[in-house]
Structure 1
Amino acid sequence: MKRAELTPVLGGGALLLAVAGVAFGFSSYWLFLATSAVLGALIALSVGVVHGRAGMVTLCPMAFAGIGAWTTGWLGMHTGLPFVVLVLVGGLAAVPVGVLIGLPALRLRGVNLAVATLAFGGAVAVMVFDKGFPGAAARTPVARPSFASSESGFFLLCVLVLVLVAVALSAASRRSTGARWTAVRDSERATAALGYSVTTTKLTAFATSAFIAGLGGALMAGQLGILSGVGFQPMASIVVFTAAVAFGSSYVEGALLAGVATTVVPELLRQLGLPQDVAPGLFALAALQALAAGSEGVAGQLRAALRARHRKRRTMYAAETAPEPAGEPVPRPRPPIPEEPVLRATGVSVRYGTVTALDSVDLTIRAGSVHGLIGPNGAGKSTLIDVLSGFVAPTSGRLLLRETPMDGVPPHLRARQGIRRSFQQGRVNPQLTIGQYLTLSGRGLADRSLVERLIRAFGCPPAGTRVADVDVGTRRLVEVAATLAAQPTVVLLDEPAAGLSAEESAGLGRAIAGIPEHFGCSVLLVEHDIELVASCCDEATALDFGRVIANGTPADVLGDPAVARAYLGADGGSEPRRTIMEVHS
């Protein structure tokens, strides 16, 4: 067995031995603490979903846990359902509440969202938990199942639930659900541009987080038997959140460290005779350090160090895995472009108060063509792409995809209907491998063969390479490839050559020129690299101050003196015959 295959086997075996040692070698008191640590890890995992993966702040995980505990206690008193069913129902009971508290996340960010979730947790504590849990007044405990009635048995049950949740989250991270969470964390605009609803993605993260925390609370009801509202107050949520951030609970090892810390540190303080208030302060300082460093906590730093060590042992671009040269040379002249338009903008204007960003712009992208869009800074190019992709609503004008009106259609639905785009700044999700990102971008349409074709066409590193491990220029190539993964009708490329060397830019130009033939979609290319536009475009449009000043073949547009004057910023009498190609050279 290879070393890479042996490592997880040995790690799993060591973990099983550790669990067995705790279950059968600890006293009842330490078993109780170990169970508390496991449940703390479970609730920390819930924070890892909504904050670590989806990038949203939630300060009410113990409120969700309390709802699960309350539901389990009430059902235990009034029904004869098995304990395992009670735990599942307790988790599910927190889901609608999680969706409800997730609604503010659609509008709020950062501190504002933190305050909203903290206020929610406080309201639940006052309205529900302070009135007492079911069975508390009569001292009626929640009955454990017979197979887990002992401390060791219940500890093993809690470990099993933690393992199942960790496996489920690991599976989700390899599929579109988990990838969408991290995509939203990195860029909501990019997520929408991939065809995914930001609203649905955020609410799914909150619902999943609430379910996991609810499971933890339901198991706490079985662990403690009789509950009080003390453990579910807002301060308890803050402690869990800070520990989860400090240790990196988006990873299972970080969640375990957080669970152990929130259980063991208070116990150590008690034995040392120190105030219990010291623990929240320590976790808060560690969380602030992690947030300030932009890291994913202790677990994230450890994983980053291991990845760096592995990178030193291998050559990323080994000869046997080196990608083929980017793109296939496209002979000139190309076949005549059909007259059929696939995307038409007619009379599009965008005004911000007294500022006119676009003024009655007409643009037609024809089937099987590469259309260049040029102009000086501030000409309105990026605004026009935002209008075409749905991120900016025009003040007036029409937009048709073939014969289908796109007016009022949100970005993620435009992406699903065939309009894909890249971004000027680059919005590739660094947490995924290149293959995972292309698969996510394909929305189920990008099989392995298409992913490999895209990698070869754009000279990307192998599919197993993490995006975080490649340079900015290579990420731009990956982003361009991703726009084609869902086989769209038209792709809008916003300065894809930014950050590329001259050789890489030339290769990108060949690949872009071959997109209509090899991938069957049209292209709108926004670029400052005039040579790239001249080499790969069939038609071109020039903008200046939000108006179309030239339209036609690239040679005609680039040879128009008005275009040169726009780039030079000269008046009408200054160098009227100088072309933009001469300016560029």
Structure 2
Amino acid sequence: MKRADVRVVTPVLLGLVAVSAIGLAAPDYWVFLSTSAAINALIALSVGVVYGRAGMVALCPMAFAGIGAWTTGWLNLHMELPFLLEMLLGALAAVPVGVAIGLPALRLRGINLAVATLAFGGAVAVVVFDRGFPGANDQRPVVRPDVAHSTTGYFFLSVSVLAVAGLLLARANRGRVGAGWMVVRDSERATAALGHSVVTTKLLAFAVSAFLAGLGGALLSGQLGILSGVSFLPYASMVVFTAAVAFGAVHLEGAVLAGVAAVILPEILRQLALPQDIAAGLFAVAAIQALAGGEGGIAGGLRAKFSRNTTTALVTAVPTRDAGAPTPAPQRARQATSELRVRGVGVTYGTVRALDGVDLLVRAGTVHGLIGPNGAGKSTLIDVISGFVVSTNGEIHLEGKPVTGLSAHKRARRGIRRSFQQGRVSPSLTIFQYLALSSRGTVDHRLIGELLDAFGCPPQSTTIGTLDVGTRRLVEVAATLVSRPRVALLDEPAAGLAAEESARLGSVIAELPERFGCSVLLVEHDIEMVSACCDEITALDFGRVIASGSPQAVLRDPAVMRAYLSGAADAAEMVI
């Protein structure tokens, strides 16, 4: 078992021992409340997936729980199935509903999505739950399994289900699935650039969230026996959501704290003869405080405070050649085959032509520079090639095959990977998680180590949020290469780097085709770096190609000098 797994399993096992003591020693009433806390924790865990991980505000967890409870109750009364199978089927029944309500998340954001999901929860409560749950009219309760027939036995069943669900989810969160959720939360464009479908990633988060909430509802049907729609009203969803956000249900311990608070606090208010609305108000205040303090809620704060892994940001220079004078461009033999060909590409925004009939050829095994003044259309061309902007005309071919109509994530899977001018690396991930998410197929640990070594990045376990801006850019460039793409589109990778670091980065980029087997299209304002590492250069101005050829020829071209300097007096500075 890996060390990371041990760190998760150990506290869960200790928690099971503790709750076992409660189940054996406590009166039945408190055991019943503890069971309710475990079930609420499971539903809070579902909020941790769709909101805490994937960043989507869904205010209908109790609607999913109600569907799971209704289905489990119906199966229990009409079918002779094992209770655990009935629970599983009840949870699965909530999944397609979760996917259906997740579809608006592909278009809606923030408060609009929150209102849509809250309205959905209200509609389910009116259409489904108001008609009654199976067995409610004739007072036929859900029959528990023999091993969990007693209050204590059902408590152990509920805690066990919570523990298993929490462990499986923790494992998923440490893998590509969880990393994908975190990246789509921070940047949908980065998700697609890594070769992952934004649609699939979001809908998977809703499906898993609905399953967990449905599982909680299935347990609730066995605990209460006879259900009413009052337990699944939108108000109950709001309480669960605010508690989950406040305590940080993105972590298992945060979900447990949310479940305990959602049950124990109302009980305390009841014994003090105080209004139950106070609990919802306190949760709301705590949730606002948690949002103001950053992600993770109370559990995230405790993890940050007591974490033994105090990784500090390291600024490590790329260990390659000496960065004195610019390194001459490598003398690679040009290949007749083209890796990437752009023909007649145009992009129009209203009356403005951002690109006008652009032709570009990136030969296999070469580094091709793309230069031009601000507003020339360089980043727009990168967006068109990578699939984030649809061209009004023109064609794009990769290895002779058209990719013009493909979406961004499909182009990434075909072998077109890119970095961004503004950093879009998810700060919550470790370097290894980010590069593993960008990998294609099985994670190549040797290649990841080689890339991080080549770019002088910190250890793989370092959290990206602790890195300085320049080092984050290097990690992002490394992520474009870990899938062994056919073409790497690097959009100003030297931004944020000092002159010495920029020169060293240029040396590494020059070696990428030979070392990692890919062609490179480099967009960069650092002319010295471009001339040092590129085999060919294309210059743009006002969306048109004004020069293309060898670095020496392009940089001496009068049209290029005028575009950069608007006069011949200072143009000699560009002559290399």
What is the TM-score of this pair, normalised by structure 1? Answer: 0.94
Corresponding residue of 2:560: 563
How far residue 346 of structure 1 moved from its aligned partner, in angstroms, is 0.7
In structure 1, give the amino acid aligned to 2:394.
G
- State yes or no: 1:377 paired with 2:377: no
Give the total of aligned pairs. 571
Partner of 2:141: 141
Counterpart secondary structure, 2:136 = coil
Separation in 2, partners of 1:327, 1:263: 63
- Gap regions ≥5 residues in structure 1: none
Query: 1:445, 1:530 → 2: CA distance?
Result: 38
Q: Say if 1:337 and 1:369, in contact at 8 Å, map to a contact too.
A: yes
In 1, the alpha carbon distance for the partners of 2:544 and 2:328 equals: 33
> Which residue matches 1:448?
445
CA drift of 1:403 comes to 1.1
Question: Aligned pair in 2 of structure 1 residues 216, 75: CA closer, same or farther (>3 Å)?
Answer: same
The CA deviation string for residues 94-145 of structure 1, in whole angstroms up to 9 with x for no partner, is 0110111011111111111111111110000000111111111111110111
Counterparts of residues 332-343 of structure 1 (less than 5 Å)? 333-343=330-340
CA drift at 1:440? 1.1
Tell me how far apart the structure 1 counterparts of residues 213 and 291 of structure 2 sit (CA, whole Å): 23
- Cα gap change, 1:190 to 1:316, in 2 (>3 Å): closer
Structure 2 equivalent of residue 395 of structure 1: 392
1:184 aligns with: 184
Partner Cα separation in structure 2 for residue 424 and residue 86 of structure 1:
51
The TM-score normalised by the length of structure 2 is 0.95
Q: CA deviation at 1:306?
A: 3.1
Q: Deviations over 1:260-283 (max 9, x none)?
A: 111111111111221111111111
**Partners of 1:560 and 1:579 within 8 A in 2:** no
> 1:452 deviation in Å?
0.8
**Letter matched to residue 496 of structure 2:** G
RMSD: 2.1
Whether 1:495 and 2:492 are equivalent positions in the alignment is yes
Q: Secondary structure at the match of 2:571?
A: coil
8 Å CA contact retained: 2:384, 2:390: yes
Q: Give per-residue Cα distances to partners, 1:141-178, cap 9 Å, x unaligned.
A: 10111111111111111111011111111111122111
Q: Give yes or no for the alignment of 1:485 onto 2:482.
A: yes
Equivalent residues in 2 for 1:245-264, closer than 5 Å? 245-264=245-264
Equivalent residue for 1:420? 417
Q: Following the alignment from structure 2 to structure 1, what is the Cα–Cα distance between the partners of residues 318 and 394? A: 43
Counterpart for residue 221 of structure 1: 221
Q: Distance in 1 between matches of 2:112 and 2:367?
A: 44
Matched AA of 1:529? D
Residues of 2 paired with 1:172 and 1:217: CA distance?
22
Is 417-426 or 172-181 further displaced after alignment?
Answer: 172-181
Q: What is the CA distance between 1:579 and its match in structure 2?
A: 4.0
CA contact (8 A) 1:347 1:396 kept: yes
After superposition, the Cα gap between the structure-2 partners of 1:350 and 1:376, relative to the gap in structure 1 and judged at 3 Å, is: same
Q: 1:526/1:324 Cα in 2 relative to 1: closer, same or farther (>3 Å)?
A: closer
How far apart, in 2, do the equivalents of 1:234 and 1:477 lie? 46
Corresponding residue of 1:242: 242
SS, match of residue 41 in structure 1: helix
Residue of structure 2 in register with 1:504 after alignment = 501
- Would you say the 8 A contact 2:329–2:510 is kept in 1? no
Identity %: 64
Other-structure match for 1:530? 527
Structure 1 residue identity aligned to 2:538: T
Does structure 2 retain, via aligned residues, the 8 Å contact 1:558–1:580? no
The secondary structure found in structure 1 opposite 2:375 is coil
Query: 2:329–2:533: 8 Å Cα contact kept in structure 1?
Result: no
Q: Is residue 2:319 matched to residue 1:325?
A: yes
CA pair 327-136 structure 1, distance change in 2 beyond 3 A = farther
* 1:559 and 1:580 in contact (8 A); partners too: no
SS at match of 1:514: helix
The corresponding residue for 2:299 is: 299
Task: Give the corresponding residue for 2:38.
Answer: 38
Tell me what 2:131 maps to.
131
- 1:230 CA displacement: 0.4
Q: Report the counterpart of residue 161 of structure 2 in structure 1.
A: 161
- 1:8–1:489 Cα change, 3 Å: closer
CA shift in 2, pair 1:39/1:15, >3 Å: same
Partner Cα distance (1:54, 1:327) in 2: 41
Indicate the larger mover: 65-74 or 325-334.
Answer: 325-334
5+ unaligned residues in a row in structure 2: which ranges?
A: none
In structure 2, the CA distance between the partners of 1:387 and 1:579, relative to structure 1 (3 Å rule), is farther
- Alpha-carbon distance in 1 for matches of 2:380, 2:313: 38
Is residue 547 of structure 1 aligned with residue 547 of structure 2?
no
Shift of 1:438: 1.1
**Distance in 1 (alpha carbons) for counterparts of 2:321 and 2:402:** 33
Give SS of 1:551's match: strand
| C-alpha distance in 1 between matches for 2:397 and 2:5 | 53
- What code does the residue aligned with 2:124 have? V
Superimposed CA distance per residue, residues 49-80 of structure 1 (whole angstroms, 9 cap, x where no aligned partner):
11111111100000000000000111111111
Amino acid of the structure 1 residue aligned with 2:99:
V
Q: CA deviation at 1:48?
A: 0.6
The Cα shift of 1:304 comes to 2.2
CA contact (8 A) 1:424 1:494 kept: yes
CA distance 1:408–1:250, shift in 2 (3 Å)? same
